[in-house]
């Protein structure tokens, strides 16, 4: 029990943070927000998955991936392909010239389902694909890069280029992917209406539990030997290699884990928002995920969630009322976080928040001692 507590929750401080986050997303948001806003928060929380994955990959591993959108997109598209096939059953699409295939294929004069769409008729296959496809893709990229000791800015650029390739491919191959609009009009999951409020509430809670699970899993990885190796690799890669560890395998592993975590976020995004489009795959979303992580704190799994929530709240609020200011603000945020608060919100909390808390504790404990004294005196 003690082992579990230390390892999964990160001791006292870690578990306080974890419980606070759980209370916020599981109780406070559902109680105080209406269905629309809650769905919005659910959407933001799906962005927290790639942000958390970047804490593992970038904060601890020192590997900056500017392509987490690739994996977010792969997970999201896998889910969307299944839902789209369900939505375009022959009865629903009887007005098309070829019934039974998704509408955008029909518009692009396709007459049969492309081969890579066929397995997505199966729910089990889709569920497996959400995890396996990004992992395999990440393994291929990671193996090719890390085995040849490509790292640092080169890796960042290559992942970014792959994100560009994937986006251009999705946009260009309209008939196979739905093009720039993405895969839309997803209504049912195994015959169950996804758009109703109760379904959305259920998805929200599934999303929250998955996120909390991912955080616990991340804690488990980081508190063990693996976490220490990651840190050592980040700071002095050569020394780890000289100690006899195969650095590239560890890097590939953490890259694959990060990819799968991002993909879960993507799949949950599709389920909650009801569509998937290339605008969540390319350069801009990928780099935004990095900024969620950086603002929240690149060394803090929980901080990354707050980072994702805060920036997205800000984005919604600002782009509604001052769309011009938002990009200035976002750019300024990038620069100031990097220059002045490299550890983000979590760093600020540790530096100043903890002091305040311990001061408050002192005040309270003094007062209680005084109370006890006065009680003792009165009796």
Partner 1 sequence: MGGYTYSELGAIFAMQGFAGISLFSVLLLMALGLAIIFGQMGVINMAHGEFMAVGAYTTYLISSITENYLPGFMPYYFFFAIILSFIISGLLGYLCEFALIRHLYKRPLDTLLATWGLSLIMQQGFRSIFGAREVSPTPPEWLLGSYQPTDIIDIPINGVFVLGLTALVTLAVFYLLFKSSWGLQVRATTQNRAMSGAVGINTKKIDRYTFALGCGIAGIAGAAFTTIASTGPTTGSLYIVDTFMVVVFGGAASLFGTIASAFSIAQAQSILEFFISGSMAKVYTLLTLVIILMFKPEGLFASKLRR
Residue ranges binding partner 1 (CB under 8 A)? 58, 62, 64, 66, 144-145, 148-150, 152-154, 156-158, 160-162, 164-165, 168-169, 171-172, 283, 287, 290-291, 294, 324, 327-328, 330-335, 337-339, 342
Both structure tokens of 120:
């997505």
Q: Nearer to partner 1 by C-beta: 163 or 301? A: 163
Q: Nearer to partner 1 by C-beta: 24 or 287? A: 287
Q: Nearer to partner 1 by C-beta: 54 or 261? A: 54
CB 283 to partner 1: min, Å: 7
Q: Nearer to partner 1 by C-beta: 35 or 333? A: 333
C-beta neighbour count of 305 within 10 angstroms:
28
Q: CA geometry: angle at 195 spanning 194 and 200, to 5°?
A: 75
Dist CA 3 CA 72 (whole Å): 33
CB 215 to partner 1: min, Å: 23
CB 377 to partner 1: min, Å: 58
CB 315 to partner 1: min, Å: 12
CB 336 to partner 1: min, Å: 8
Q: Nearer to partner 1 by C-beta: 64 or 221? A: 64
CB 366 to partner 1: min, Å: 42
- Residue 35's φ and ψ, nearest 5 degrees, are -60, -40
Q: Nearer to partner 1 by C-beta: 166 or 271? A: 166
């Amino acid at each position: 029990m003690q082992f579990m507590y230390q390892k999964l929750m990160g001791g006292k401080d870690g578990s306080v943070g974890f419980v606070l986050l759980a209370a916020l997303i599981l109780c406070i948001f559902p109680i105080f927000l209406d269905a629309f806003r809650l769905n919005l928060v659910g959407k933001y929380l799906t962005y927290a998955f790639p942000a958390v994955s970047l804490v593992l990959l970038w904060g601890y591993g020192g590997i900056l991936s500017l392509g987490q959108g690739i994996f977010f997109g792969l997970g999201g598209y896998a889910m969307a392909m299944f839902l789209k096939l369900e939505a375009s059953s022959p009865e629903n699409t009887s007005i098309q010239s070829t019934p039974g295939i998704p509408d955008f294929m029909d518009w692009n004069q396709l007459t049969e389902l492309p081969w890579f769409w066929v397995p997505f008729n199966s729910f089990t296959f889709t569920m497996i694909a959400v995890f396996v496809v990004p992992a395999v893709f990440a393994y291929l990229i990671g193996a090719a890069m890390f085995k040849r000791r490509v790292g640092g800015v080169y890796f960042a650029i290559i992942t970014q280029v792959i994100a560009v390739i994937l986006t251009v491919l999705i946009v260009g191959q309209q008939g196979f992917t739905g093009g720039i609009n993405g895969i839309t009009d997803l209504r049912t999951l195994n015959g169950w209406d996804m758009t109703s409020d109760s379904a959305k509430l259920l998805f929200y809670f599934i999303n929250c539990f998955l996120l909390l699970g991912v955080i616990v899993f991340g804690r488990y990885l980081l508190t063990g030997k693996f976490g220490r190796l990651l840190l050592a690799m980040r700071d002095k890669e050569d020394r780890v290699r000289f100690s006899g560890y195969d650095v590239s395998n560890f890097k590939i592993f953490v890259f694959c884990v990060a990819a799968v975590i991002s993909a879960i976020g993507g799949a949950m995004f599709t389920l909650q928002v009801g569509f998937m489009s290339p605008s969540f795959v390319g350069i801009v979303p990928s780099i935004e995920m990095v900024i969620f992580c950086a603002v929240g704190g690149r060394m803090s799994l929980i901080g990354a969630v707050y980072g994702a929530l805060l920036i997205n709240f800000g984005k919604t609020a600002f782009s509604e009322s001052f769309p011009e200011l938002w990009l200035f603000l976002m750019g300024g945020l990038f620069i100031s976080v990097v220059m002045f608060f490299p550890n983000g919100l979590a760093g600020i909390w540790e530096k100043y928040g903890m002091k305040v808390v311990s001061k408050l504790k002192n005040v309270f404990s003094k007062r209680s001692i005084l109370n006890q004294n006065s009680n003792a005196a009165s009796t």
